[in-house]
Structure 1
Amino acid sequence: MTQLFGTGNSVTSSGTYDLMPIAVLGILGSADATVSSSTGAEVDATINITGLLDLPVTALSTYTITAEKNTSVTVSAGSVAIGTETILNADGGTISLGGGLLNAATGVTINLSNGGTFNGSAVISALSGATINFESGGGVLNLAGSSTGLALLSGASIKNFGTGDSIIIESNGSPATISSVSYNSLLGTTDITFSNNDSVTLTGEYQNTDPTASNYVNAVAESGDTGTVIVCFLSGTMIQTPTGDIAVEALQVGDAINIFDCSVPAGTTRNIVWAGHHKAVVRPHLPDDEAGYPVRIVKDAITDGVPYKDMLITAEHCLFFDGKFVPVRMLVNGRSIFYDKSITSYDYYHIETAQHSVIMADGMLSESYLDTGNRRNFHQAGNVVRIGSSPRNWADDAAAPLAVNRDFVEPLFHRIGERAIASGHAPRSEPPIVETNADLHLVTKTGAVLRTMREANGHAFFMIPPGIEEVRIMSRTGRPSDMVGPYVDDRRHLGVLVRSIKLFEGNIARPVTSHLAPDAPAGWHDGGYMPCKEPCRWTDGQATLPLGHRHPTLMGLLCLEIIAGGPYNVEKDNIPQNDTRLTA
């Protein structure tokens, strides 16, 4: 058994270790250890938290244990005093709790990042009062296998549960069945109650549970890169039924609605098998299509009588044109179809038929709900006909193809826009302020800013001081969907398009190609929107560029070949790119 003292301990080999603090002048002793794999091979370590004979010192100790990628760490407690604080970082690796920690540690903080896993089933009561943080890259909190149930989680604080994160739980040693879910959009919390009256609260942007689930609950934030995709009608939308048009909020499970699929005879009806609703609160700091603003389609926007009144739907909701579905966000022209920014919170509804269907809403052909895995975001009222199902997809289950290609959508966009101008619809907002200057510069690891020395013929030159082996390429960003038009289904934040990079030191010119590698560093986009066929890649406005080993005394000259960039929406420069987005 190896003993580890104090802070700064590094473990790279499998084995058992004792971790103990060092007291200095009888004041606060702490200890930490990081378990990592230098070769990529699995490292399996057991770390025993051990105290000192000086109990007043040990009682104030803080133990920090980190498990990095390709490591599995079991943490247990030996002779430590009440009052010990323990911080467990599952940073790509797996941490499990062993015996003793339950009675030893007063404060336990668990940080899950980069896909790390925490297994707490053996001593789940250690989590009573614990703080559990889902951080960058997320992870898995695995509580399945506990015989004590969820009651002991009542004092735990679970924060920042979001896209890609998982919580696996049982209830009283048997499969956990959810009986109710309550989402508080103001506080950003979700209260989950199980059939045995156990409950747990998650803090985050989403309601992440499936009320129809059985077996273990794998509470995953089902969403795309831009957040939870919500496809619905707002209240007041009139749905065509055999007995006339009925407001969507008044429809119930079992009600019949008219169907307009090309594959079924005229007059076909289908019954509603699921009806859900949810409340949205707009987040105005995000781009309009991701902030949650509803889209207003004015009366007669498409043609006379279509729609027959103003129609309000969510941005991802699809309209039916020429045998295909098109998301309404791709048709926003700012005149007859626009984001209604006077509405900052609202209730929205969906109705589902046994098969995805083309339906009539406000005189406009639209879609019923297609469950692609986000049913958990809604509250169900009334009878339940559909009890669980596998998520569906557009390729196999849609009533018509989803069209997001520019060749199909752009002519449609212009046709509707020309009608809006001819009808006298004025722009609903001022045009955005755009800038062609990328504000291209570099930032070092220490935060130093390096400005361009000169720019010529599509090349930007920077002086790089000795010793700097990594920089970030910083610039403004723009989204093709904003700067070209919403009919371009590319909502990435693009900085500049870089082809070749060279670093000159003395009389040596060295190519830098990491940005073109399949596993490019952070901040480089893959594919799409390439004006040339030669290898090149877009930055996201803050792309990491390793420069390799540098000469210790020579200044370097870095040359970036920039082949495209901009224009940029200056008003949106400060939108944080890592913000979890709600698409509603």
Structure 2
Amino acid sequence: MGETPISSVDFQQIENNSVSVGGSVDQYQNGETSYHHHDMSWRWVGGPTGDWSNSENWALFDSAGHVVDTSTTGSPAIPQSQQNADVNVGASGNSTSPVTIVANAPIYNQFRSLSVWQSGTLKITAQGSNGTHGNVFAVAGFENDGTIIVDTPSRVDFGGVTMNRDNGTITIMNNHGNVIFDDGNLNSSGTVNLINASLGNAGQPVWVSGTVNLQNNSSIFLNSGYGATLNVDPATVNTIYMQDNGFLNTGIDGTNNQTAVINGVSENTRFGIAGLNTAPTSATYTANQDGSYTLQITMANGSNLTYNALHMAEGYTPPAKLTIVQDSATSGWDIEDTSSIGGTGGHYTDNSLHQQMTAVATNATNAGGDTSQYISTPESFHQHDMSWQWTGANSSDWNDFKNWTLLDSNGHVVDTSNTDYWTDNPIPQSQQNADVNIGVMDSTAAPSIVVDNVADYNQIRSLSIWQSGVLKITAQAGSGYVGNVFATAGFENSGSIIIDTPSNVELGGVTMNRESGTITIMNNQGNVTLDNGALNNGGTLNLINASLGTVDKPVWVQGGTINMAKNSTLFAQPGISYSSAVTINVDPTTVNTVYINDSGDKANAGNVVLNGVSQNTIFGIANLTAKPVSAVYTPNSDDTSYTLTVKLTNGQTVTYGSITPAAGYVPSTTKIVEDPSNHGWLIEDGNFTACFLSGSMIRTPNGDVAIENISLGTQISVFDWKNNREVTRSVVWVAKAHTTARSSVPVDEAGYPVRVLKNAISDGVPYKDMLITPEHCLFFEERFVPVRMLVNGRSIFYDTSITSYDYYHVETEEHSVITADGMLTESYLDTGNRSSFRQEGAVAALRAIGTRNWEEDAAAPLCVARNVVEPLFHALEARESVVEGCQMPTSVPVMTREANLHLIMSNGAVIRPIRYDNGAYSFMLPAGVDAVRIVSRTSRPSDVIGPFVDDRRALGVSVSTIRFIGSTVQRRITTHLTAAQDGWYESNSQNAPVWTDGNALLPLSAQTQSKMGMLIITVHAAEAYRVEPELTAQAMALSA
């Protein structure tokens, strides 16, 4: 390969400049604000049933009640075309004629306020197309005395001022967690119906009063301690989650009484717990004197969660004890009745509560009739009748009205001093139907730096940042606030936008980052929203400790440059750019991840060039139905770049076509790591990193020196073990890198450092706590042993309190046995990851010696053999009594030999074995089954046997034979042997047993002819399986 260019991007300078802009945020206003004062109102003038998006159905009135000419507000003239107005649906009083309005077209413009009166029904059916990230319907606040029906899976935002009155009903259908109340609170004395819907989520619970009805697989995530009446359909599965918001976790003997009255409880009702740092250990029912029941859930920390007023459905008698089931979707637990018969709910057909809820669902579905009669074309409005101009100081506060001047369409100044008509702080969000301008079209002008430090959920119409303009958004949401702290329906940027907040920021659907424009997102993990999932980028996008997009909502970035540093992640659509090339520069010294999301199992990174790739660069793939089986780098014809090709078990490929490595880095082997938090996989460098953390003391002839103070030419002490003598060698390279641990993967692969306690090896060795990376080797009896194989959890353990850290390499001319903290260990061996480190301070300049390998260049052999490492492991473990500060495991892992083997069909149905005989499991297959997945517990030998076993594969069961017996056919199934299949490890030979990874695809149709029959799978289970530490086997229900 030719010489690789060194990246010219100064990532540290980008961060320093962004942080310093605007100075300390302490000088700016903070808190939260909102605007609901409106100068006009929209009224429905259509028929009893009509289309929200038809302008003939609406009339706009001014504050004096006069009709307003809407010819200049935008077309069509509907509420979102003039955002600074109230919208009225129906009329006050039950005697007036009913009106039903259907909003079937997605519109991401927010309007000021919504009033649904007694005779009014608003039904929202708009659905965003694939790639839509923003709201399909949005209002800054509402009051409801009538009926609001949400029947869409897309995001709907009801704002921060919420009032569902006595007569009001809100029905949410077929929507899971995408109906938003900005401050997490629904003030309700009315009724909320959930039909195949979820309200709130595990991280953002809601406060709800009034009555809530749940049916047909619905869930509600409630803040602890909030009172309401909940009715659950006994015939369908529904879940009530209690979210920890500080009321739980009171400690030993603490009791948290939940005052909600819950009716209709049956075997289909589940009680969920999310967001706790302790686990439930038992759940028991006791009968109350009034015929109701109390459910007490006891936690591992000694506290209790109690529901005092549970009313059972007629005919249901609850068991004394319930089952605790892990809930991977919420990282919590479900409390279920798995003992009762009749879980399908058929025996509740005549139950009055069930019948009432069925009628509610039918009426909500039928309201407004067939949606095909309504407009479905998405709309957006960016025409504005006024504009806000920044006229303040060169560096000042967005939220100080003295810095803004409002101009009408003719350029005349608008008087905003009348507080009866305006607010007492007239800033852009107070008049939403206006463009906002910062800076001027002159790059030589003094910069106008505007800092917005106040959370405001009112959306502005459009935002223009000119060449001399800088907007920095630092506003942070308070506790319980789930809306946007800053929102615009669209923007164009020729200057600089800096987002430095973890909270939600909406940049709208019309997004234009021009050639001179720079957008910097810092310290924000997936909470910057591009409404249509696309950024038209001719300029530069910087991600610093930030994520853009999510696994469910990846983004299109069209053109320009993306710079990524400090544990940043980009979730990109396949073919990230349509036509203009995208250049992605990654900081080689910090961990960064580029994801390609594609549900079609075939993705190409498109017109994309990636520069600076190093051992710290991770490639992610998500939303695939097949598992990656290989990831291979191949050189391109330019003799500089590479192509990374990821092959899947179904034969498809994911390709990154132009990868230019950082100077000194040669891509070679890769490692595929499952990423359960993003439902995908990570492609990482397969060359393991062996490093020292800051403070490690390196022995020199003049005494021990901290590694961060070692420099080029320093003489260090080296142990010549072959001649049993100490010699000195010169340092030819010392370098530094930074990493951040990933809690979503196993602890030994997450990147946490290993702490070797003082005296853990022998008396005085090491002479202080030693901190090194897991693959770093210690020297024992003429061999190097990776420290990860010696971790005993007591004197040698992963220090999970250190989640982000700098680490160092020290290299001598030859790979050497050196002494650190009094322990013999290794110097740096360059196996191709040199570019992952940077030089700074006293760190020496790079001296590339060439890539080396363990077989030919190591100072001593690398040993991972169990027969050598296991005795060493036990010898060090036995020193626990003489080592101070040993860790005590928080809980003893529960082990089982039961594999919990079962099958899952393509429709999600679970098939349990009907017979087990000496390793042979028999399953009855229905007709028409083309494939099943063989699902079981998994274990890693390094976990269940010990880290001294160098096998970290997740093993399910070892399958020796599979047979199918039908009425007319008997045959051996071999489809898992003839080609690479999802969930199977490679076998040593055609007839040898094959291990699954716990979820293995087994095609059947060709060999079973899709007929009914018996599938017999003969397996050998793993030596043991690890059960979640907090739960006992008796308290854990196993399900697919």
Determine if the TM-score, normalized by the shorter chain, exceeds 0.5: yes
- 1:428–1:108 Cα change, 3 Å: closer
Paired position in structure 2 for 1:308: 767
- 1:231–1:175 Cα change, 3 Å: closer
- 1:263–1:282 Cα change, 3 Å: same
Shift, 1:287, TM fit = 1.5
Instruction: Output the CA distance in 2 between the equivalents of 1:473 and 1:549.
Output: 18
User: Which letter does structure 1 place at the counterpart of 2:809?
Assistant: H
Shift, 1:293, TM fit = 1.8
2:962 is the alignment partner of 1:501? yes
Paired position in structure 2 for 1:375: 834
- 1:278–1:209 Cα change, 3 Å: farther
Maintained 8 Å contact 2:701/2:715: yes
Maintained 8 Å contact 1:298/1:307: yes
Query: Which structure 1 segments of 5+ residues have no match?
Result: 1-26, 28-56, 58-82, 84-106, 111-116, 151-157, 177-207, 575-584
Give the one of 557, 562, 584 matched to 2:1014.
Answer: 557
Number of residue-to-residue matches in the alignment: 420
Instruction: Output the CA distance in 2 between the equivalents of 1:175 and 1:346.
Output: 31
Where in structure 2 are the equivalents of 1:74-473 lying within 5 Å? Answer: 125=581, 134-135=596-597, 160=620, 164=631, 210-213=661-664, 223-226=670-673, 227-228=684-685, 229-263=688-722, 266-381=725-840, 385-421=845-881, 427-429=887-889, 430-473=891-934
Paired position in structure 2 for 1:184: none
DSSP-derived class of the 1:308 partner: coil
Shift, 1:422, TM fit = 6.0
Query: Which structure 2 segments of 5+ residues have no match?
Result: 1-104, 106-376, 378-509, 511-555, 560-573, 585-593, 612-617, 623-629, 642-658, 674-683, 1032-1040
- 1:386–1:133 Cα change, 3 Å: closer
Shift, 1:359, TM fit = 0.4
User: Which letter does structure 2 place at the counterpart of 1:537?
Assistant: V
- 1:525–1:109 Cα change, 3 Å: farther
Shift, 1:419, TM fit = 2.1
- 1:417–1:470 Cα change, 3 Å: same
Instruction: Output the CA distance in 2 between the equivalents of 1:319 and 1:438.
Output: 36
- 1:348–1:438 Cα change, 3 Å: same
Shift, 1:540, TM fit = 0.1
Shift, 1:279, TM fit = 2.1
Paired position in structure 1 for 2:935: 474
- 1:484–1:127 Cα change, 3 Å: closer
Instruction: Output the CA distance in 2 between the equivalents of 1:385 and 1:441.
Output: 58
Per-residue CA deviation, residues 69-127 of structure 1 (Å, 9 max, x unaligned), is: xxxxxxxxxxxxxx9xxxxxxxxxxxxxxxxxxxxxxx8879xxxxxx9899x975588
- 1:319–1:338 Cα change, 3 Å: same
Maintained 8 Å contact 2:558/2:580: no
- 1:317–1:552 Cα change, 3 Å: closer
Identity of aligned residues (%): 44
Maintained 8 Å contact 2:809/2:827: yes
Per-residue CA deviation, residues 171-223 of structure 1 (Å, 9 max, x unaligned), is: xx9979xxxxxxxxxxxxxxxxxxxxxxxxxxxxxxx875425xxx98x5964
Maintained 8 Å contact 2:711/2:734: yes
Instruction: Output the CA distance in 1 between the equivalents of 2:1010 and 2:699.
Output: 76
Maintained 8 Å contact 1:465/1:556: yes
Instruction: Output the CA distance in 2 between the equivalents of 1:303 and 1:431.
Output: 27
User: Which letter does structure 2 place at the counterpart of 1:288?
Assistant: V
Maintained 8 Å contact 1:332/1:338: yes
Instruction: Output the CA distance in 1 between the equivalents of 2:926 and 2:1030.
Output: 29
User: Which letter does structure 2 place at the counterpart of 1:251?
Assistant: I
- 1:422–1:133 Cα change, 3 Å: closer
DSSP-derived class of the 1:283 partner: coil
Instruction: Output the CA distance in 1 between the equivalents of 2:947 and 2:1018.
Output: 29
CA-based RMSD of the aligned residues comes to 4.6
Where in structure 2 are the equivalents of 1:557-576 lying within 5 Å? Answer: 557-571=1014-1028
Paired position in structure 1 for 2:100: none
Instruction: Output the CA distance in 2 between the equivalents of 1:175 and 1:520.
Output: 32
Paired position in structure 1 for 2:80: none
**Higher mean C-alpha displacement, 269-278 vs 310-319:** 269-278
Instruction: Output the CA distance in 2 between the equivalents of 1:260 and 1:345.
Output: 32
- For normalisation by structure 1, the TM-score amounts to 0.62
Maintained 8 Å contact 1:142/1:167: no
**Higher mean C-alpha displacement, 375-384 vs 536-545:** 375-384
Instruction: Output the CA distance in 1 between the equivalents of 2:582 and 2:886.
Output: 62
User: Which letter does structure 1 place at the counterpart of 2:1002?
Assistant: L
- For normalisation by structure 2, the TM-score amounts to 0.36
Maintained 8 Å contact 1:142/1:169: no
- 1:474–1:160 Cα change, 3 Å: closer
Shift, 1:471, TM fit = 1.0
Maintained 8 Å contact 2:767/2:822: yes
Maintained 8 Å contact 2:720/2:726: no
Maintained 8 Å contact 2:735/2:844: no
Instruction: Output the CA distance in 2 between the equivalents of 1:160 and 1:553.
Output: 36
Instruction: Output the CA distance in 2 between the equivalents of 1:279 and 1:253.
Output: 20
Instruction: Output the CA distance in 1 between the equivalents of 2:576 and 2:596.
Output: 14
More relative contact order in 1 or in 2 (CA 8 Å, sep 6+)?
A: 1
**Higher mean C-alpha displacement, 473-482 vs 273-282:** 273-282
Per-residue CA deviation, residues 406-446 of structure 1 (Å, 9 max, x unaligned), is: 01101111111122246587552122222322221111222
User: Which letter does structure 1 place at the counterpart of 2:995?
Assistant: W
Shift, 1:375, TM fit = 2.1
Maintained 8 Å contact 2:731/2:813: yes
Maintained 8 Å contact 2:930/2:1010: no
Instruction: Output the CA distance in 2 between the equivalents of 1:538 and 1:405.
Output: 22
Per-residue CA deviation, residues 537-559 of structure 1 (Å, 9 max, x unaligned), is: 11000111112426667411100
Paired position in structure 2 for 1:62: none
Shift, 1:263, TM fit = 4.3
Maintained 8 Å contact 2:576/2:608: yes
- 1:356–1:126 Cα change, 3 Å: closer
Instruction: Output the CA distance in 2 between the equivalents of 1:477 and 1:437.
Output: 10
Shift, 1:391, TM fit = 2.7
Instruction: Output the CA distance in 2 between the equivalents of 1:239 and 1:551.
Output: 66
Shift, 1:235, TM fit = 1.0
Per-residue CA deviation, residues 470-514 of structure 1 (Å, 9 max, x unaligned), is: 111011111000000000000000001110110111153210123
Instruction: Output the CA distance in 1 between the equivalents of 2:748 and 2:1010.
Output: 50
Instruction: Output the CA distance in 2 between the equivalents of 1:361 and 1:168.
Output: 38
Paired position in structure 2 for 1:536: 993
Instruction: Output the CA distance in 2 between the equivalents of 1:486 and 1:126.
Output: 43
